[in-house]
Amino acid sequence: MAKLWLKIIKNNRMIRDITLDSLEDRDEKMELDQLRPEIARACNELDVEFPVVVEANRREFARRQRTVFREDSFIQETDFDKLEVVYFKSE
């Protein structure tokens, strides 16, 4: 089983988070665009807009299975510093 964890961070503190369980577990590394529906669902539950995904986010996610979206990744003004997206396999 795999999980997706989204964390909203403000002043270096996590203020909200959500974990989506029971994601499809694959042997190869997951690509950020493959998780777009799950990220959109988590953002909706966290009441934040979907971030603008740029190539740097895709590269970071492909390399580390995590990426960070800063304030400039959102069209609307945010009340937080960053949104961190982490994909991991659980036992």
| Structural domains counted in the chain | 1
pLDDT 10s digits, 8-39: 999 999 999 999 986 666 656 778 898 999 99
Q: Which residue is it, tokens 């909203």?
A: 8
pLDDT 10s digits, 41-91: 999 999 999 999 999 999 999 999 999 999 999 999 999 999 999 998 876
Q: What are phi and psi of 63, to 5 degrees?
A: -80, -40
**73/62 Cα distance (integer angstroms):** 18
DSSP for 61-79, please give it: HHHHSEEEEEGGG-SS--S
> Which 3 state secondary structure label does DSSP give 2?
strand
Q: Give the structural domain span for 71.
A: 2-89
Answer for the pair 29, 65: CB distance below 8 angstroms, yes or no.
Answer: yes
Instruction: Look up residue 81 and give its DSSP letter.
Output: S
